[in-house]
Chains A and B, each alone.
Chain A
């Protein structure tokens, strides 16, 4: 893409600096200090709210207005603060289940029959039994439960915060999600092994785990670590929480921002516009770097209908485009990253308590988040409703 940009804008010099660790810390330090941030920076979608509320990012509302319809509303949600646009979506992470075709065939499990998470768990139990306990259904590490929690909560339309930033995690949606998660553990179909660890990557080539409910970008890892397994993998849509429910979710994705301190905002915007707001660029990122386009208007490209040999000739790209616009938006706050760390800790604790009483867990989580984040509890919270109900009865 770079040669294309420099030929289109010969006056703009571009240096690309993606190197180094601790990118977020360095970016925030530069924002606070008011010096040193690159003219264009890539941020994780979920982290954008933390920066957009600081007033240190350039307001892109006016220039980005004409691209409003090219990207789904649920993605814009992460890029906006108080009605203003501060980031332009790059890629998104629609979710599905990557599975090992050969194992499913071997144990006679029909993928198309898996419609809901209940079906998924039942299939997992069958595989576990048929393999003599050798093959688990999925990785569910007790130290990182927040990933699947967030994925399923978003799928169900539940929230951690309401629109006003109050704690809304104690909800029927959360309860439904927790009931799925606890059955991952109670039925014994999950492996308690850390993501991105050696056994995790090794499992791509072995029979230890059959499926991986993950975002689209995960497919690249599988191909890299199990090149010999071409054709043995497949993808099926995320099981729904209720019959007929939404069969996708979103996890991850990124956006580009311009810091307010940038001296050449026009050039920086020209770059972003060229890189993200053009059909060719978005498709190019997908073709070359496996970054799934946030721009939904490109989904009519024939590239999405190509059959992918690695995944057994399935039209996986098309599969991931399904219902992308219908994925519920998340209300994320500036302390979202901190919030996620509390989710992780609390869920970890719940595991050591054998994942009993999800209602109690949610109440405790709500109290904890309210105290730690110094936020109010949403009036929609189950605990407040219960109280109101109790009072009316008395």
Chain B
């Protein structure tokens, strides 16, 4: 036992910290989901009524709808674009690959506040360069962040700009891990570029695609910074997603109990959905 003392000693800082700021909060939050509490006045037990109230919560319904629509708007083009870029960058003779990669990747590391400020300028209704460009082309100006119809597409555009680089790096790593032998064998079998793509690249890239898709979908549910700083969920609730709604419930409305309930239920559903996608994927792969 003495020999293993160091094992426990070395993992203890991690576990102590986790106990205080991970495990205890996890239990606390579960308990809170059966209560009504604003953090200051007395906590009141309400049984399952928080769970019942999830049904018929119209803002939540909006948030779910917006999350789905926003996800559909930006995830497919972003992943397609990332894959396209990864293929281009994977050409063996390409010089300056690192520079192009850096250019596409830089948005990922930029503080979201800064992104919001800059896009706020670009999207400005009267003085923004985007509307200036549109009007020069004889098209009408678009009320980017000001209208309920355009707030989601505007966000989607920012999200594509911000996260394409991240997915491109993942896909590039995936492409580079594919052994050259597969392609050589395919060429020997007389496969052209499209056939090689279809029968070698795409099947082998499948796990990366699945990973990127799952990460993007989870990311859409919990997306916060981007929406908080660009639209704060507005106009109306037109760009409110689940992540922002959770934040608002917690730290704007201070409905700690209900927020905990929603956080738990959301996490549970996201977990189940991820499991389902993974299951589906592994069965297809067999």
Contacts and interface: CB of A to CB of B under 8 A. Distances in A.
In the complex, is A directly touching B at CB under 8 Å?
yes
Contacts of B236: 143, 194
B46 A374 contact: yes
User: Quick one: which of B38, B49, B146, B235 has the most chain A CB within 10 A?
Assistant: B38
Interface stretch (B12-20, B93-101, B170-178, B252-260): B252-260
B143 A32 contact: no
Contacts of B40: 31-32, 54-56
Chain A interface extent, by class = 20 to 34
Nearest to A196: B235
Interface of A: 21-22, 24-25, 28-29, 31-32, 53-56, 143, 194, 197-198, 334, 337-338, 341, 345, 348-349, 368, 371-372, 374
A371 B53 contact: yes
B76 interface: no
Grouping DSSP codes into helix (H, G, I), strand (E, B) and loop, the B interface class, with mixed when no group exceeds half, is loop
Contacts of A338: 253, 255
B252 A22 contact: yes
Contacts of B38: 54, 334
B254 A28 contact: yes
Interface in B35-89: 36, 38-41, 44, 46, 49, 52-53, 56, 58-59
Contacts of A349: 58
23 contacts: A22-B252, A25-B252, A28-B251, A29-B251, A31-B40, A32-B40, A32-B254, A53-B41, A54-B38, A54-B40, A55-B41, A56-B40, A194-B235, A197-B235, A198-B143, A334-B38, A338-B255, A349-B58, A368-B56, A372-B53, A374-B36, A374-B44, A374-B46
B146 A198 contact: yes
Nearest to A24: B252
Contact of B41 (A25, A54, A197, A341): A54
A349 B59 CA distance: 13
A159 B143 CA distance: 39
Contacts of B53: 371-372
A28 B39 CA distance: 10
Contact of A341 (B39, B44, B59): B59
Interface in B206-244: 232, 235-236
B16 to A, nearest CB: 24
Contacts of B41: 53-55, 334
Contacts of B253: 337-338
A374 B254 contact: no
A374 B49 contact: yes
User: Quick one: which of B40, B146, B253 has the most chain A CB within 10 A?
Assistant: B40
A53 B38 CA distance: 11
Nearest to B251: A25
A55 B46 CA distance: 23
Nearest to A144: B236
A371 B49 contact: yes
Contacts of A371: 49, 52-53
B190 to A, nearest CB: 62
Nearest to A22: B252
A328 B239 CA distance: 38
Nearest to B148: A194
A78 to B, nearest CB: 18
B109 to A, nearest CB: 25
Contacts of A55: 40-41
A392 to B, nearest CB: 32
A198 B59 CA distance: 24
Contacts of A337: 253
B51 to A, nearest CB: 12
A29 B248 CA distance: 12
Interface string B3-44: 000000000000000000000000000000000101111001
User: Quick one: which of A28, A29, A371 has the most chain B CB within 10 A?
Assistant: A28
Interface string B134-153: 00000000010010000000
A32 B251 CA distance: 10
